[in-house]
Amino acid sequence: MSKIITESGMKFGPFEDKYLYEIEKSKMVQTLQIKIVEIIIYYKKSLIFLEAKSSSPDPNQAFSDRQCNFDEYIKDVSRKFINSVNIFVSICIKRNKDKISTELEKIDFSTTNIKLLLVIKDHKMEWLSPINDALKFRLNDLCKSLNINPSNILTINDTMAKEKKLLV
């Protein structure tokens, strides 16, 4: 069975249920009261931690009050990725209990790409790179500790997500 997930005004999918973990809807995660991404999906031989946003601050406002908003935005998105990776790993090693599919439990992490994907609706192309660079900087320790290639941190807009067949 496949499912379409609506987040931030975008329709993601369809994704097969057996490869989808709706972490944001998890009762276990909700009891922890931490910020997490919308979904985790095994898609095209990659485990994707997907965060959807309807907007972002202008990263080019470096010397204004808006820069504070940009820095907070990057911290918030980074925290969601870090928490979500930690939660998922903790479930896989049975430190936390939550219902995930057998297919997700059986993922061989030694051969699976881990991708941290931020999708921003109606976003300007020229703003994507500065956001992605800031996320790579902020997530550097996570990448090093789990051997995640920094090129697997991706910031795209909805047009690019459609091209990758992540959006309906």
CA 80 to chain centre: 8
Domain total of the chain: 1
What is the pLDDT averaged over residues 27-53?
A: 95
What is the pLDDT averaged over residues 158-168?
A: 96
Asked if residue 114 is part of any domain, the answer here is: yes
pLDDT digits (tens, 9 = 90+) for 115-133: 999 999 999 888 899 999 9
Q: What is the pLDDT of residue 61?
A: 66
For residue 114, what are the contacts with CB-CB under 8 A and spacing of at least 6? 46, 47, 49, 85, 146, 148, 152
DSSP for 7-38 reads ETTEEEEEEEGGGEE-GGG-HHHHHHT----S
Asked if residue 168 is part of any domain, the answer here is: no
For residue 92, what are the contacts with CB-CB under 8 A and spacing of at least 6? 105, 107, 109
Asked if residue 70 is part of any domain, the answer here is: yes
Domain assignment of residue 80, given as a range? 2-163
Asked if residue 158 is part of any domain, the answer here is: yes
